[in-house]
Structure 1
């Protein structure tokens, strides 16, 4: 991850100082590769760092920040273009942000991989013995025979933590130098295409991100030229709408999904069912595609920009409000492959975003905004309907996971 951030930083500096269009194009292609490597690690870090009853809330933060980039980017770009008038400064600002992220990762994001030995220092208690040893300790204190342990005053604990932090942050101890396995990692994500929950998650995620890209392109085409003649600053400020939708979706895709999982977990402690989070998808499955319809009809009369913003916020709501629930469900179904799921997800959404950005304007000019956005809504609703079989056949999917993965 740190190497990817260093590469991403260097490429953003290159983009800001690119002497020609071809140089800028190559830098952005390489920048997308470096940025994609970083994005794909999110599900793995969440799965390794947080307990399962907090996964949806943790994952929604990852998804929210990931999607917020597509909203904050146009806002900052519009402000830079309006205030500075030099596109290079946008790339320089990105380079500064990446540098801050790199420093934060160096000092505050140690390796999250768990090992069986735990931290060096006091022996870790095995899970099976935890309750019995805790009960024995409690009985000792109740009888007066136990002595409350005093914290060491020689700084040994802080020394142990410092060594562990250095070991996890600045060494290759947790990196398996298996080049054969590294080559296989390029094809491992493709194996997951056969899994229904992964396919549905990537489709919903990819289409929602793709439609967001289409909207950003179309709004610039509609509002910047005559007769509206909006400035780049005002066009960029329209992106506050999806940012608002993402924020509204946070408690739905996070707290509500975890509440459903925790309630089921308390009732059926012996049965782990990742699919119990899926009912939380219903809200976003209804609201997000409907946002496309609101947008399409709103763009027929562009001066009603409030309607356009409401539709865009509704669409973006689906990323944190429902797509995040699907991502949490997919990762919980196969935690050991969380990194592969993240890779497949990011490749799909970025490929769709790249493709639709070329066809969006010609599609609008040929079909009109109402027809175009109605088609987008229909495709997104179709993908959400695929969640129903995931719920109906959830037991069969669990058996499939156990047998093949």
Structure 2
């Protein structure tokens, strides 16, 4: 064997013996112990679980106070109509704050951002627990939600940094499932907390604060920096235990992903013009609006229309909770299995659009569940029927998120965090707007609002049909007109 052949880096195929242009040379990941792709499975799963918990607390906090929407205004001398600020304000902050966290993380590192925002969110939750006026409670919850927002955009990018493409759908599914679980588990636990007279609504904030301080400690101790850039010619040194605690801009102390804060901030604006980003944002904004509208409505309709007590009303959220976790089978395990099967069949990496046919199943389930919930709650059918509706909506919502995020990660890879800033900012602004419509729209009955939402959800899925049919052509058009539309890969700098 020639000397050249002896020194050729072995190649780890994407799947079995299938090779494609995005293979990572084993020599590269093994030679640099700081590359997260080469880390042990145990470390990868530890990071995934802890960041998943961090994502969960953000949405858990957002709606845990939902069962107290009728109690807090009385306690703090405010009107019931203004109680939606307790959820609407945090929703807005959850989307807008990403415009700060992603540029900061790309310049200084995601680990630093996670630790600082977790501590700050916990402190804001303590303020909320001790608030003596309605305004201070809204301010505390809104600021806390802004800090809780950091992993919403950075966690999907972390999946791309740490996991090979064959496992990404499962990783993305996990992040989206724990996020959706927060929406369902918040009112479930909040109901029992508020119902307990020895605790009261203030303990919803105390519990969030305690959990968040714990998450901050776990991130500091067990989550090293996961951003990574591959710099040719850079001296590679062994990794020590101290490196796991360093606040590097990228793992190993290499070149930051962006050369300045200004560049980190400016680079996101061209994505506002990408057709795929625009259509994906419209689609998921509607999905989130429907899910949030339903969750907020469900937090009080079983109390008002079915005369449930707080505890029994909280138990109705077990339905959407089951729907959320069932989604991992469809949007995680089944999606990766199908993607890997296509790889073996065609002996090449499938097109990103090959992930989208899963919507043929999950879309109709969400539309039917939305209409079922509104019509059956309005007509006071057996309580299990609207619960089945909310189960279907959360199943569809979680699946929609995981399928779409995996698709966007395939398309944008190293720049997904920047894409997610645009994506999350607009979808949360839209959801913030509709949160103020919950009380007045529902005052005239639930049938019309939920039928309208069901129709909107159907129309939203037509955008994904358009991407499935014309996605490849749209991507080529975008790459010809925007530098930001060109392919990026793990380890790239900008």
TM-score (norm 2): 0.68
Q: How does 1:30-45 map to 2 (within 5 A)?
A: 30-45=143-158
Cα distance in structure 1, aligned partners of 2:446 and 2:353: 36
**Of residues 98, 111, 123 in structure 2, which corresponds to 1:10?**
123
**Of residues 392, 399, 415 in structure 2, which corresponds to 1:337?**
415
User: How many residues end up aligned between the 2 structures?
Assistant: 365
Q: How does 1:13-32 map to 2 (within 5 A)?
A: 13-32=126-145
Q: How does 1:53-202 map to 2 (within 5 A)?
A: 53-83=166-196, 84-116=198-230, 120-121=236-237, 160-167=239-246, 173=253, 176=256, 181-202=260-281
Pairing 1:382–2:443 present: no
Q: Shift of the alpha carbon at 1:217?
A: 2.7
Cα distance in structure 1, aligned partners of 2:181 and 2:212: 15
Cα distance in structure 2, aligned partners of 1:76 and 1:169: 37
Per the alignment, in what secondary structure is the counterpart of residue 362 of structure 1? helix
Q: Which moved more, 1:250-259 or 1:228-237?
A: 228-237
Pairing 1:245–2:359 present: no
Pairing 1:266–2:344 present: yes
Pairing 1:292–2:405 present: no
Summarize the Cα distance change of 1:284–1:362 in structure 2 as closer, same or farther, 3 Å threshold. same
Q: Which of these two proteins has the greater Rg computed from alpha carbons?
A: 1
Q: How does 1:304-323 map to 2 (within 5 A)?
A: 304-323=382-401
Q: 1:229: which partner in 2?
A: 307
Q: Deviations over 1:245-277 (max 9, x none)?
A: 111111111122212222222334455511111
Cα distance in structure 1, aligned partners of 2:420 and 2:316: 29
Summarize the Cα distance change of 1:388–1:53 in structure 2 as closer, same or farther, 3 Å threshold. same
Cα distance in structure 2, aligned partners of 1:175 and 1:13: 38
Q: Deviations over 1:152-198 (max 9, x none)?
A: xxxxxxxx3414323467999468497x8424544544432333332
Per the alignment, in what secondary structure is the counterpart of residue 278 of structure 2? helix
Q: 1:391: which partner in 2?
A: 468
Q: Deviations over 1:267-301 (max 9, x none)?
A: 34455511111111211111111111111221123
Pairing 1:216–2:295 present: yes
Q: Which moved more, 1:64-73 or 1:337-346?
A: 337-346
Per the alignment, in what secondary structure is the counterpart of residue 224 of structure 1? helix
Cα distance in structure 2, aligned partners of 1:96 and 1:264: 45
Q: Shift of the alpha carbon at 1:35?
A: 1.4
Cα distance in structure 1, aligned partners of 2:370 and 2:353: 27
Q: Shift of the alpha carbon at 1:343?
A: 2.0
Whether the 8 Å CA contact 2:226–2:250 is kept in 1: the answer is no
Structure 1 segments unaligned to the other structure (5+ residues): 123-159
Name the Cα RMSD after superposition: 2.5
Whether the 8 Å CA contact 2:376–2:385 is kept in 1: the answer is yes
Cα distance in structure 1, aligned partners of 2:347 and 2:475: 16
TM-score (norm 1): 0.83
Per the alignment, in what secondary structure is the counterpart of residue 122 of structure 2? helix
Q: Which moved more, 1:190-199 or 1:330-339?
A: 190-199
Structure 2 segments unaligned to the other structure (5+ residues): 1-113, 486-494
Cα distance in structure 1, aligned partners of 2:225 and 2:407: 24
Summarize the Cα distance change of 1:271–1:81 in structure 2 as closer, same or farther, 3 Å threshold. closer
Per the alignment, in what secondary structure is the counterpart of residue 296 of structure 2? helix
